[in-house]
Chain A
Amino acid sequence: MLDLSPAEWTAVELSLRIALVATAFALPFGIAVGWLLARKQFWGKTLLDGLVYLPLVLPPVVTGYLLLISFGRKGPIGAFLADHFGIVLSFRWTGAALSCGVMGFPLMVRPIRLALEAIDRRLEDAAGTLGASPLLVFLTVTLPLALPGVIAGAVLCFARALGEFGATITFVSNIPGETQTISAAIYTFLQIPGGEAAAGRLVLVALAIALAALIASEWFARRAGMRFQGE
């Protein structure tokens, strides 16, 4: 029934790769920012808080445009990356991963921050008296206890990245085989006469992936939760 053409497969494979890379790169930053917001008082905290959630409220096209003027080849960050590290993001799938990561970031930070805020700090004190340095306390007590929140954040970010459209198409355009994700491909097929069948197939694929991600996250969350309940 689902007889995808090679071009459609490419879009599916590209979407998955972009969403996975975006989530993997966003995760360490998400944990760090979630921790800062949950635990630290510092000058500019309100500003950081606002900046993190900005992509959630800005029109995606505006976020994409801001990425274009800063990470584009002529943008300040883009030029720096290209000159010093040979990294080019504009019109590449890596750029799509960046925009997807940025769009998914607020959804990732929120559950991580809430999970960190819910942890009983007295357990961390206990770990300290048992000889664990602050870093070891974080790795052996804080992070494992926050794991359900971390998983929830990663899944939300992945889902957002998979469906991202506006910021990505503005930043890296809609190039088949390079930056054309499922969403962009569906949009493109709907623009051409007779493209409904191809669009329909991709819609089914998008549905299947979304369902699989939800089931997987549910399973992970239950397993993580079980570890606190006992056998």
Chain B
Amino acid sequence: MIVLAVAVEKQLGTFMLAARFEAAGGATALFGPSGAGKTTVVNVIAGLLTPDRGSIALDDTVLFDAAAGINVPPHRRRIGYVFQEGRLFPHLSVRQNLDYGRRMSGRPHDVKEFERIATMLDIGRLLDRRPRLLSGGERQRVAIGRALLMHPRLLLFDEPLASLDAGHKREILPYLVRLRDEAGVPMVYVSHTAAEVRRIATDVVRLDDGRVVACGGLDLLNGIDAETFG
């Protein structure tokens, strides 16, 4: 079943993005070299960038349709976004960061769900700390928890491991696999590392120079070394 349908064009200086793809449930990797437009695509899906032309639909909701003049603002899209650099709020504790999405939507506090996700990501003992005191890996786990706890309809990951060293990468990967299998939220995962995509993704969309060059399963990665785009 198609969950996400993207067909957009966006001119950014001399760079032209013209991407068209569909994603089912599970984890869809946006895979390609740096500068292929992967981050631009997820920013467009999140609503942080407005395309020049085209449309975006999530489940049965149209998020963007240039022709019909529809453009749902980011805060009404309910799309969780885990950024490359985490982007935790420095003035809030870990607990307040995790709770931010729920507070903004005015939903009642769900202690059980909070504890379930904190346990799943192993961040229970970090709750009263400030983001500045966390390691890179801890920071990304909190960022994942924060995105999960807002009850997203879709989760976007923009190279969440890129800023981590090898040890911390190995630390986070199992959590992402667990998330894919247990959270029941479709994921779009940006990466330029084939090894990472093999671990996490169920489908692959290959991007190059602003265009989708291939869509399919993990076999699209056959013949690509682990670090081809590293």
Contacts and interface: CB of A to CB of B under 8 A. Distances in A.
> Are A and B physically bound partners?
yes
B208 to A, nearest CB: 26
The 7 closest A-B pairs by CB, nearest first: A230-B130, A126-B87, A130-B101, A131-B104, A128-B74, A129-B81, A132-B104
Q: How large is the interface on B (under 10, 10 to 19, 20 to 34, 35 or more residues)?
A: 20 to 34
A125 interface: yes
Given A122-B83, A122-B87, A123-B89, A129 B75 contact: yes
28 contacts: A122-B87, A123-B87, A123-B90, A125-B48, A125-B87, A126-B81, A126-B89, A127-B100, A127-B104, A128-B73, A128-B74, A128-B75, A129-B74, A129-B79, A129-B80, A129-B81, A129-B147, A130-B80, A130-B146, A131-B104, A133-B75, A133-B104, A140-B104, A144-B91, A145-B90, A228-B130, A229-B130, A230-B133
Interface of B: 46-48, 73-81, 83, 85, 87, 89-91, 100-101, 104-105, 129-130, 132-133, 146-147, 150
B146 A228 contact: no
A144 B73 CA distance: 23
Given A122-B87, A126-B87, A228 B81 contact: no
Contacts of A227: 91, 130
Contacts of A231: 129-130, 133
A81 interface: no
A121 to B, nearest CB: 10
Contacts of B129: 230-231
A87 to B, nearest CB: 39
B74 A125 contact: yes
Interface string A200-231: 00000000000000000000000000011111
A133 B83 CA distance: 19
A136 B90 CA distance: 17
Interface string A110-141: 00000000000011011111111110110011
Grouping DSSP codes into helix (H, G, I), strand (E, B) and loop, the A interface class, with mixed when no group exceeds half, is helix
A131 B101 contact: yes
A228 B48 contact: no
A131 B91 contact: no
A130 B80 CA distance: 7
Nearest to B130: A230
B85 to A, nearest CB: 8
Given A228-B91, A229-B130, 5 more contacts: A128-B73, A131-B78, A140-B100, A227-B91, A231-B130
A119 to B, nearest CB: 10
Nearest to A136: B104
A229 B74 CA distance: 30
A141 B83 contact: no
Contacts of B80: 129-130
A145 B91 contact: yes
Interface in A120-176: 122-123, 125-134, 136-137, 140-141, 144-145
Nearest to A130: B101
